[in-house]
């Protein structure tokens, strides 16, 4: 018996939907804007994108179907710079209009990755011989904090980092960082030297009288027990200051 025609003919069959990255782009990027941003990033190098475009591209990873340009620009306006956005407090980011936990995490992970990369460079070489790497690490981690953080970097006889110790968050005074406790910790660790570090949320890294006084108390306590205070570094959005370089230790 000859083949019977189908009872219902829907006309020419449409090709099956494509799959893979091209299909995702087609379904979520009708203007091609996201594709062009990614291409510029991959082919153009570090300066291929403006700051708002970097933020926009990061936000796109968390939100597949939304124009992220207005949100990126509002974040830059609020936090002042690309670094300010990426290093903002995660909760503050998530509460910004148009943001949420997913978008805040997409931005925060960049700072986490950058901090770990910078910290690894510090750990791999004597600190005094890789000073720029140390300053890069401290700047990434502390320059945009809204609270004052006090840290002590304990070093061995080769000036290799033994411990990066977060001592306190708050003002730098003897309630936060006691000279005898700092030196006792050094002896417990077998450290022969240390570097004090703290940040100024105001942005200016210029040391205060309290910064200078507490540094010299710790240095004096260390001299009695064979622990050297190599430096005290103050970090701010406007740069950094070394008390050793300024002749204040």
Please indicate, yes or no, whether residues 70 and 155 belong to a single structural domain of this protein: no
Domain count, the chain: 2
| Residue 144, pLDDT above cutoff 60 | yes
| Residue 142, pLDDT above cutoff 70 | yes
Whole-angstrom CA distances from 144 to 67, 229, 237 are: 28, 25, 6
Q: Residues near 121 by Cβ (< 8 Å), separated by ≥ 6? A: 130, 133, 136, 137
Q: Using one digit for the tens of pLDDT, what is the confidence trace for 33-56?
A: 888 888 888 888 778 889 999 999
Please indicate, yes or no, whether residues 152 and 234 belong to a single structural domain of this protein: yes
Q: Are 177 and 167 in contact (CB under 8 A)?
A: yes
Q: Which domain holds residue 155?
A: 145-242
Please indicate, yes or no, whether residues 238 and 149 belong to a single structural domain of this protein: yes
The residue that leads in pLDDT, 78 or 171, is: 78
Q: Using one digit for the tens of pLDDT, what is the confidence trace for 166-204?
A: 988 766 555 468 899 999 999 999 999 999 999 999 989
Please indicate, yes or no, whether residues 226 and 171 belong to a single structural domain of this protein: yes
Residue 125 included in any domain: no
User: End of a domain among 75, 93, 115?
Assistant: 115
For residues 158 and 30, what is the distance between their CA atoms, to the nearest angstrom? 58
Residue 208 included in any domain: yes
Residue 111 included in any domain: yes
pTM of the model: 0.72
| Residue 103, pLDDT above cutoff 80 | yes
Torsional sign, CA 139, 232, 174, 184: positive
């Amino acid at each position: 018996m000859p083949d019977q025609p189908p009872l219902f003919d829907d006309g020419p069959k449409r090709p099956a939907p494509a799959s893979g990255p091209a299909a995702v782009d087609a379904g979520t990027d009708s203007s091609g804007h996201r594709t062009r941003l990614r291409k510029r990033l991959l082919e153009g190098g570090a300066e291929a994108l403006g700051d708002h475009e970097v933020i926009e591209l990061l936000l796109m990873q968390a939100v597949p179907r939304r124009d992220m340009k207005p949100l990126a620009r509002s974040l830059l306006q609020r936090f002042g710079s690309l670094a300010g956005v990426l290093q903002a407090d995660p909760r503050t980011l998530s509460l910004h209009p148009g943001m949420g936990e997913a978008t805040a995490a997409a931005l925060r992970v960049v700072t986490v990755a950058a901090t770990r990369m910078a910290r690894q460079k510090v750990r791999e070489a004597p600190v005094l011989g890789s000073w720029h790497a140390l300053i890069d690490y401290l700047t990434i981690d502390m320059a945009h904090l809204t609270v004052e953080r006090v840290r002590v970097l304990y070093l061995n006889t080769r000036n290799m980092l033994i411990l990066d110790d977060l001592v306190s968050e708050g003002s730098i005074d003897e309630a936060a960082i006691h000279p005898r406790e700092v030196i006792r910790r050094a002896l417990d660790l077998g450290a022969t030297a240390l570097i004090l570090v703290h940040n100024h949320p105001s942005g200016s890294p210029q040391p205060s009288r309290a910064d200078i006084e507490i540094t010299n108390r710790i240095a004096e306590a260390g001299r009695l027990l064979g622990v050297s205070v190599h430096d005290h570094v103050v970090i701010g959005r406007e740069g950094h200051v070394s008390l050793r370089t300024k002749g204040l230790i």
